[in-house]
Chain A
């Protein structure tokens, strides 16, 4: 946090410097013009050129520091936030993921983190720069000629109001466009994943009809967005020209009366159309982005603030701080699971709808237990509880006679071998997937595990054998092959409990 503050100070300072230099250019212009009018060919042009050159160098250096610092800060921050979010996701219990789609979580870790970091680094600094530049110009204008300056400044409040109004709408339609864009992406993804089904149902035309609706909606929003910008920019330019017109008209009258120099009028004129537009536009954009970044920030911070419901208790963590002889587990208790007991376990996924009632079961090392029952009877729930993916609502589950909540979660789960109904493989080679069960398994051990489940033959028959790529989520393999590999994965360590 300290280093962040230091960076912010550098950034704000360089933002202010750039704003000041930006404003000074007009002053140099004014002085040199007034001087040349007064002195004609006697003018010493070089001292002005030198001052101008110094400003140019100053600005270039300022811009360089500004971008460098803001960019470094923004990227380092989003890296750290992303790292912390990912860590938190590894700790959160299963129930957290039950109602949060994968795509939703991915956006939290990618676009939301980036947005948050970007707005903190760039947005705040753009704001500082814009505010200082506008104030500097305002001061110069008023110093040059109070009445005229204030007249020209009269358009600023209007500019601010209109910019905010438009930027809000432009952002809204941009968001809608992106929303439809991601729906289109989802639709294409679904179309490709369900291609065979679509073909076998001969649904191509219906699918296209639905897709066209989405692309029409996106067209409407995207054109609306462009139209809004096409109205906004001319309005701002018109306001700028009103200010320029006022400066020319009133300033001209003053010049004719010899109450103002030509250089001053030129100076005021040169501030009016362009100089205001950029910082005000920038400010309006940042203000609107801040609102959306606020939402992104809240979502990310919420994720970081969510405490895992299944975690090692303080007592367990205290025990794990000590080191124990090799025959004991990391938490200093027995290393082997001898018994697993469900004692009066009740469990509900949704409060008030229990799935298990007063369930009792004792399993000893070496036992083979088969759970049979109709779908929805709670078989998977028992596995989920045994694996400590969920914990009992009431009652307890005992490992070697001790509530498993008093043991290390990491130790407990790494002593289980679980083959799930829908086999999930990670992208990568067959070997990597089997080795996932025990990271330090040798190649020979990996192959032994494959032999044990009768998968060695088909793996060897594949083009690259164990080095064959299984494809994303293993989709280059048939379901049966995926099942065999996931069996091999569960077998590669010596695991006392298989379910």
Chain B
């Protein structure tokens, strides 16, 4: 879709409001031109005693009651000027509000659409896309589009309307003067347009330099502990100096060009005004024009020149908006995670039987793949997976959640093929705790409650106790209402893991997945938690990924993975007697504990 047709379709539902805004603008402008005309007609006919000829000013004078009558009642043109200005102001107000409602309405809908769309794009899309770039597209690009809709489009219409409406009036007043008045209008617009097109790259350079400054500050502050731990303050100050200077230098270079632009532009505009003034004076000296007409022309020129001066800038900004539209458009055109064909949504929750056959999966880069995995888990059993970093453990979990689609082989949940089930249904059959769990910047209570399906009242404390986090939460001054994150408390890794565990327990899905979920919790606490989890055994299928082998002793089945394959399987007792990776890991960990 081209950016312009995308723009047109974005305007759906708001087109009428735009039409209204432009009509109001037209009316408001038309009235605005009448005001100087009344002034000039009064000066010409009532004050300097010229006789009214034909034409617009004469008609205005006639309508007001004739030159002599007006000369005796000068309050009339004066109050007419005020009344008409008020009237024009009312229409200006209507236009301003309608344009804002339309453009902000479109921007709001666009933002909502983008947000929703991003949530439904596949994990694979997000893996290959820079988060910062997506954020920029959904915020500043949308803002650029909003400005185009509220200002630029209206400005272009405004300038065009001004020309179209003023031109006949000016021609009616004096053709020669009209030609003089428009002599430099074209060059002014062209100058602005080409100038801004030329400096566009400088604007981008300044933006980029500013982004770099922000980026450096952010990296420095988020890595504060590392910077201090290695005493790298001077190095960091050095590294900051570079983008900081670049930002300043680019900005100054831009301002130099801007200074040239504005002074040349002022020069040309004043030249245009001077041209009108002195040609007018010449005509007056020749006796072929009146002083009133000269004043009228000078006022018209004043009305015209500002939008004309802005036109070059508006046109380049509009070019920027088209780029923004394109960037936003590419996101919206990405297809969502759920294919259109109807997928199976079972009515009953799953029992939790998992059967994996010959499962293979390749990441885009070809790293961390799964290669022909097969295993079975009966409902209520506990399966443990161990293996070195990059063995494919987490990938397996992602496939179970349908965050990615597997290439070959099969995964069956209760004998139903996962690929044929609705993703959201599949995900609601699992509760997951990840190694670095994500908590929303809301209260601790809300974060746990997010596990619950629906809106029913739930008992947070019992799951918090099972996850051994209840006492910690009560230790915060606001208890369960304590905010998580920058605005509230910063939780330690272990505390985050336990909050996420409470959330997962509250969810109470048929399958619980713990992806190295207690790695940051001390061993004693881990034991207490595992004991609590054991009491739930038999009800829920549990998948545990862990490095601490002692915690896996109770698993019904342990899979040992390496390089995307299952290299060993069995119970803890059988595996420690068997030569292989498990035994090696076990011996390393035991000896480690003895140190």
Residues of chain A having any CB pair with chain B under 8 Å: 25, 29, 32-33, 36-37, 39-41, 43, 45, 48-49, 52-53, 55-57, 59-61, 63-68, 71-72, 75-76, 78-79, 82-83, 86-87, 89-91, 94, 97, 101-106, 109-110, 181, 184-204, 206-208, 211-212, 215-216, 218-219, 222-223, 225-227, 229-231, 233-235, 237-238, 240-242, 244-246, 248-250, 252-253, 255-256, 262, 265-266, 269-270, 274, 368, 370, 373-376, 387, 389, 409-410, 412-414, 416, 418, 420-422, 424, 426-427, 436-437, 439, 458, 461-463, 472-473, 478-481, 484, 486, 489
Contacts and interface: CB of A to CB of B under 8 A. Distances in A.
B436 A41 contact: no
Contacts of B432: 200
24 contacts: A41-B287, A45-B282, A71-B259, A86-B220, A90-B233, A90-B236, A102-B486, A105-B217, A181-B143, A190-B440, A191-B119, A192-B131, A192-B135, A195-B118, A200-B430, A204-B119, A219-B108, A248-B42, A269-B39, A374-B522, A420-B225, A480-B389, A481-B389, A489-B230
Contact of A256 (B71, B81, B436): B71
A52 B450 CA distance: 73
Given A45-B285, A67-B263, 14 more contacts: A59-B270, A102-B221, A195-B126, A200-B430, A208-B115, A223-B101, A227-B100, A230-B96, A373-B522, A414-B230, A418-B230, A426-B226, A458-B390, A472-B131
Given A274-B302, A472-B131, A197 B92 contact: no
B536 interface: no
A52 B119 CA distance: 63
B96 A33 contact: no
Interface string B216-234: 0111111111111111111
B421 interface: no
B295 A269 contact: yes
A230 B92 CA distance: 7
A203 B450 contact: yes
A424 B225 contact: yes
Interface stretch (B353-361, B372-380, B407-415, B491-499): B491-499
A67 B494 CA distance: 56
Given A45-B278, A89-B221, A238-B82, A60 B93 contact: no
B524 A102 contact: no
B403 to A, nearest CB: 6
B112 to A, nearest CB: 6
Contacts of B100: 222-223, 225-227, 230
Given A43-B285, A204-B120, A424-B225, A249 B267 contact: no
B524 A479 contact: no
Contacts of A244: 35, 39, 81
A262 B235 contact: no
Interface in B92-114: 92-93, 95-97, 99-101, 104-105, 107-108, 111-112
B553 interface: no
Contacts of A266: 43, 291, 295
Contacts of A79: 244-245, 247-248
A216 B104 CA distance: 10
A391 B544 CA distance: 41
A486 B251 CA distance: 37
B1 interface: no
B120 A86 contact: no
A33 B159 CA distance: 30
Contact of B486 (A101, A198, A234, A246): A101
Nearest to B248: A79
A458 B391 CA distance: 11
B252 interface: yes
Given A86-B244, A199-B123, A233 B150 contact: no
Contact of A253 (B74, B92, B251, B441): B74
A246 B79 CA distance: 9
A202 B222 contact: no
A201 B451 contact: yes
B42 A110 contact: no
B355 to A, nearest CB: 21
B222 A424 contact: yes
A22 B199 CA distance: 28
B255 interface: yes
Nearest to B485: A101
B218, B271, B503: most-surrounded residue (chain A CB, <10 A): B218
Contact of A414 (B231, B258, B401): B231
B86 interface: yes
Scoring A219, A270, A462 by chain B CB atoms within 10 A of each residue's CB, the highest score goes to A219
Contacts of A45: 278, 281-282, 285
Given A63-B262, A184-B139, A249-B75, A29 B277 contact: yes
Interface string B443-459: 00000001100000000
A480 B267 CA distance: 65
B460 to A, nearest CB: 16
B347 to A, nearest CB: 17
Given A72-B252, A105-B221, A212 B112 contact: yes
B225 A439 contact: no
A265 to B, nearest CB: 7
Contacts of B233: 90-91, 410
B164 interface: no
Nearest to B206: A75
Contacts of B217: 86, 105-106, 109-110
Given A75-B252, A192-B118, A413-B230, A32 B277 contact: yes
Contacts of A200: 401, 403, 427, 430, 432
A230 B97 contact: yes
Nearest to B241: A83
Nearest to B93: A230
B447 to A, nearest CB: 10
A212 B507 CA distance: 26
Given A110-B210, A249-B75, A78 B248 contact: yes
A164 B77 CA distance: 30
B153 to A, nearest CB: 14
Contacts of A191: 115, 118-119
